Structure 1
Amino acid sequence: MKIQNLLLTSSLLISTSAFASVLKVTTGEDSVAGSLRAAVASAQPGDTVEIDSKVSRVMIKDGEILLTKSVAITSNARTKEDRPTIDGMGRNRIFLAVGRNLNLEFSNLNFSNANTTSIEVNEEHSQMNVDGRSYYIPQTMGSVLLLVGPRNVVKIHDSEISNNQSLNGAITSSNDPTEQPWTSIVIERTIFKNNSTEYRGGAIYSFWTNLKFNNVIFDSNTAKEGGAVANNAGCMNVKNTTFVNNSAGKSGGAIFNLGSLRMVNNQIKNNTAENAGGIFSGYVLQLSNNTVTENRSSDPHNVNSSDMGDIFDLTSNGGNIIGRMTLDHHAGNKIHFEQTDMVNGLVNPTSLNQDGRFEPGLPPCALEEIK
């Protein structure tokens, strides 16, 4: 009986692995045999699309590539210098992912020169039917990746995303808040540099989404609000990450938060905005062992919020160094610092604590640490 069970288990493993294929990308041209578009179109759920490192540049000439199945897209590059670059050619989005329960992974790649700013106003919004369901597509968002639909999981790691343009976010997630669990985006060991948007989230703009960052660098990204990241009504968990030289025309040079934000062991320095050069947080903020200093507010009236501004609900677990910070002028503020924090030059900032009655109206957030 044991032998029969072992044989059955082995047979199932072989059978399952046989369905997962690796599809090779051997050319940087678009819409031809061996292209990225052709490989994605041929992929079945669970397949991997692998770009040969000899293909240094993959050109997206014929519009965005549609993803409606669970796939992994990677390269066989052995070094950062050998990673292929997927190039939006200055006029195209790279990926549009639509559906539910998708598992997508992007790794060992560069993404550059994607652009959704030229879309005509009458094309800004559209509907798309996938698997018998209708989805609303905000066309001007997400120049590198626009993710639409609930219960999806996206992993991005060991990559660089740079020099992309859109109206909101190089990566944008649009989720249905009524469907649980929310879509999750997990990003590790990745660099976002020189991405720009006209409105929110120079690198990332999300709403009703679980965001998790670990060992990420946000450098020199720009937007009107949230030079690097804008979190709208979602859950954001940031660990071991650096925000430097990002800028916002209005608020949140590094981060613009209107959701739940937890930050552990991060560096937020040399970012600029008219208000709150480092972090603007009008909702829930939890801090542990962060350094938020040397950020700037370009408006002299907001100099006291150079590092953090309009803080509404803040809980510290200690070990934070915060330069200049202002609170939201609201009677319900909840502020808690520990003696091990340093804020506004105060070695023991517990005198700033306020026992407000603010209760978050969002669904409970999954704020577990990235493991």
Structure 2
Amino acid sequence: MEDSSRPHAELDGQLGRRRFLTAAGIVVAGTALTAATGGQALAAQRRTTAGPGVAAGYRVPLDTVRHTRTWMAWPDSTTIWRNKLSGVQSNIALIAKTIAKYEPVTMCANPASVSKARSMCGSTVTVIGDIPVDDCWMRDTGPVFRTDGAGGLDTIGLNFNGWGNHQNPHGNDALVAGRLAAYLGLPFTAAGLVAEGGAVETDGAGTLMATRSSIINANRNPGMSQAAIEGALCAAFGATKVIWFTGIAGQDITDDHVDATSRFTGAGTAAVQMPLAGDTDVWSNDERQQYQTLTSSTSAQGTPFTVGQIQGPDYNRIRSTDPNFVGSYANYYLCNNAVISAQFGDTRADSAAKATLARLFPGRTVEQLNIDYLGAGGGGIHCVTQQQPVA
């Protein structure tokens, strides 16, 4: 009989989904450190000169558009990663080198780590030391790029606060969005709410999807109503509708990011990673609920979505024995002419996922990578990348 207690990244009693950060003692009781780092960083970011808004026709495009480059961040903190650091660095380098086969990659590294990052990533990846970082989660900390369809490009910052102050310090990461925009000379606007890039999916045509557990949460947006949060999200992304999933609060550091489960794949189309039939844990039920919600929802234009499924792995057959391993095929990254995804050692599921991604994105090469160290840290390929679309 199949084991229904699927390993996942839970907060209590064990490491996981970036949750080993807490076990390492980085989450500090009280507010002193937050006030000294994240609070100042957030205030500084919001003082950044605002750029064009939604009224000017700016919106975040779908992932499938052409990219100018991919942005990534180099992890170097033994306080955060402990004995996992070298393995995670090797995974980050592998992802960067693979994407660099298809489009330029720029890696942000702390000055003391530039040399090592260059050595591990190789000559095809550009490494810069101009934008300090705390960690590698560029999807959550980096700017969200918007286009206006007429050659214009600007950026939005989602006011990163360490996933609801679960991780401290995050002073550098709270400033990455604004600093990266300044590095590129692009207009920057701080959004009217706190969120992370991995918490929001957009179809590029007016519809967003997200979990309530992550964004409508007092650790990010205290005192804000759902209506106010929806308004701020839509203003930031150039959208008019949000599809909300219930999600799971307090079980992982992200409070359940949508990009590990549900993704828009095109105009009017989406895909949801599904559990095995016998899996009955909270994460499996969350996946089923997201699928059910999405299949009964309509887009901003009022049309139903065509929703595909990506079969998740059998956690009894994957390589990793880490009890908190996150095996998300849905956390793939689209780059020019390719889909970069993970494989976990369940050969049947890996093969099926590759075939599914090839079908969802015809004409793109599907690359599957062993990123088990990153998976044991609670993330995936989409989590550590941020695309800069062609204007």
Question: Normalising by the residue count of structure 1, what TM-score does the alignment of the two structures yield?
Answer: 0.26
Whose helix proportion is higher, 1 or 2? 2
Larger Rg: 1
Higher relative CO (CA 8 A, sep ≥ 6), structure 1 or 2?
A: 2
Question: Normalising by the residue count of structure 2, what TM-score does the alignment of the two structures yield?
Answer: 0.25
Whose strand proportion is higher, 1 or 2? 1
